[in-house]
Amino acid sequence: MTATRKPQRVFDRDREWDGLLRFATSPSPDVRLGIVSGRRRQGKTFLLDALSEVVGGFFFTATEATEVEALERFGRAVARYAGGGRYIFRDWEEALERLFAVVAADLIILDEFPYLTKATPALPSLLQRALDPRGPARTAGSRILLCGSAMSVMGGLLSGSAPLRGRASLELVVKPLGYRQAGEFWGIDDPRLAVLVHSIVGGTPAYRREFVAGDAPESLADFDSWVLRTVLNPQVPLFREARYLLAEETEIRDVALYHAVLAAIANGNTTRGGIASAIGRSSTDMAHPLAVLEDSQLIVREADPFQKGKPVFRIAEPLIVFYEAIMRRHWTPLERGNQAAAWQSSQATFFSQVVGPHFETICREWAMSVGPEVFGELPGQVAGAVVKDPDRRSQIQIDVAVLAPEEPGRRRRILSLGEVKWDRTMTAGHLDRLTRARDLLSGKGYDVSDTILACYSGAGFDQNLRSSPEKPLLVDLETLYARE
C-alpha cells in the first residue's frame, strides 16, 4: 500500500478521503485547522482512524466527562504518544502547549470534540490562540482535525463571532451513503428490495455493521422477515436507535415536543402551519423546535420553487420516519415481542407514509445527479412543488421539479416536471396532469419551451403512456439504480 492509498476496509468515501488527505499532507504553512462533522453512525471515526493509520499522528477520542477527568485521559494519551511516562495537566492551556511540543508537525485528531467543549467552553478560544502566528500550534507546524457528531455544536465553531471563525482550511461533512452506494454496501442487487431497505435504514453504514451484525435480507421474499428480526426486534440495537438520535442532541430538551414535531412531518404535515395544527400549537411556536431540528440535520427545509416563502420540511433520517410512522404507535406490543401483528397491521401505512415519500426523495436525488444529456443541461434546483390550478380550484403536486439555474433578466427555465408513483402503474392520466401543470406555469411567466415531462415509477408504465406523442421521460427502478 502506498502512503496515500485509502485502506481497503473503507467503503466508498473517495471524495471525503481525498479532502482529508489533501489537508493532512498539504505543504502550505497556512493549512492548520480542519473541521469534520456529520450525524452519528456515518463512519467519521472509522474514516479518521484510517487516515491516522496512513499518515500517522496523534488520535484522541473524548468521552462525556468533567474537565478534570478529560485532562487526565488526555494526559495519558499524550504521554503514550511521547513514548511513556505520565503527564498531569493543570488546565487545557498547559495541555495544548505540551501536545504541540510532543506531536510537532504531525497530524492531531481530536474526535468527539463537543464533549470537550461541554466541560471546557473556553477550549475553542485556547485553540484560537494556539493557531495565532506566534502560537504553539503554528510554531510547531501541527495540523489539527476537530471532529464531532453534535451538529449544532460543530456548526457553531466557525459561525458568527466564534473564536475559530476564519481559521479552518477544511470543512467536511460526512453524510450518509447515497442510495446507490447504500444498496451496494448492503449487498443488494434487486432495486426494489434496495428501495425498501433504504426507506428504513437509509445510507448510515453503522446500521449494517454494528447494529444488525451484517444481517441483510436475502431477497424480496425475505424482507418482511428481515424487518421482524432487526428493526422491530427489541433485542437488536436498531430497535431503539431512532429514540437515541433525538436524545443525543444537546440542544433538544423537551424530547416529547420534538417527537411530536417529527411525527407530524412523518404523517404528511410538511408545512409549518400543518405541523403546528397537528400537534395543537400555534405556528409561531414552531420556529424554535424546527430550527433546532434543522441545525441538528434531522430535518431539512426545502423551498417550493413555484410558491415563494412557503417551505416544506422533510425528515432527513429514514429510520426516524419509520419510527414515527410505524413503531411509535405500536411501541407497547413491539416491546412485548408481538412484532408480527404490529408489522402486519402497518403495511398500508408503511407503503403510503414511508416508502412512497422516500421513493420520491430517491427520484429527486437521481434527477440532481444525472448529466446534462438527460435534461439538456445540469439542474440548478430539484425539488417537490405545488402548482395551483385556479380554474379547477385544485392543486397539482409535482414530485420532481427540475429547474435551470436562475439567470438575471431571463424567465426561469423549467427543465422537467415529474410525477412519482411507487406501487402504481403509470398511465396517460399522469401525463395529462403534468401537461396541465406545464401550461399553467407557462401562463405564470416560466419558460417551458424545453420542459421534459417525466414519469418515475416503481411499478411500470402502461402502453398508452409509452406510445404517447408527448414522448415523456420514463424512469424505472433499473434506471435509478444504473451504475454511474
Helix axes 123-131, 92-103, angle to 10 degrees: 40
Nearest to 412 by CA among 434, 375, 442: 442
Question: Is the Cβ–Cβ distance between 94 and 145 less than 8 Å?
Answer: no
pLDDT at 2: 43
Query: Residues 6 or more apart from 318 whose CB is under 8 A from it?
Result: 198, 199, 200, 201, 202, 354, 358
Domain borders along the chain are: 14-173, 178-363, 370-481
pLDDT at 93: 95
Question: Across the chain, what does the average pLDDT equal?
Answer: 94
Average pLDDT of the segment spanning 424-441: 97
pLDDT at 310: 83
Instruction: Give the span between the Cα atoms of 112 and 114, in whole angstroms.
Output: 6
pLDDT at 1: 37
Instruction: Give the span between the Cα atoms of 2 and 449, in whole angstroms.
Output: 53
pLDDT single digits (tens) 276-316: 999 999 999 999 999 989 988 899 999 999 988 889 999 99
Residue 177, pLDDT > 80, answer yes
pLDDT at 248: 72
Residue 40, pLDDT > 90, answer no
Cell of 432: 395529462
Q: CATH number of 14-173: 1.20.1050.10, 3.40.50.11540, 3.40.50.300, 3.40.109.10? A: 3.40.50.300
Question: Is the Cβ–Cβ distance between 87 and 78 less than 8 Å?
Answer: yes
pLDDT single digits (tens) 178-191: 999 999 999 999 99
Instruction: Give the span between the Cα atoms of 77 and 116, in whole angstroms.
Output: 15
pLDDT at 56: 92
Q: 226-240, 241-255, 347-361, 436-450: which has the minimum mean pLDDT?
A: 241-255
Question: Is the Cβ–Cβ distance between 138 and 132 less than 8 Å?
Answer: yes
Q: CATH number of 178-363: 1.10.10.10, 3.40.50.620, 3.30.300.130, 2.40.160.20? A: 1.10.10.10
Question: Is the Cβ–Cβ distance between 313 and 290 less than 8 Å?
Answer: yes
Is it true that 14-173 and 370-481 share their CATH fold?
no
On whether the pTM is more than 0.95, the answer is no
CATH class of 370-481: alpha beta
What's the pLDDT band for 3 if we cut at 50, 70, 90? low
Query: Residues 6 or more apart from 339 whose CB is under 8 A from it?
Result: 228, 232, 233, 333
Average pLDDT of the segment spanning 368-390: 96
Average pLDDT of the segment spanning 364-388: 96
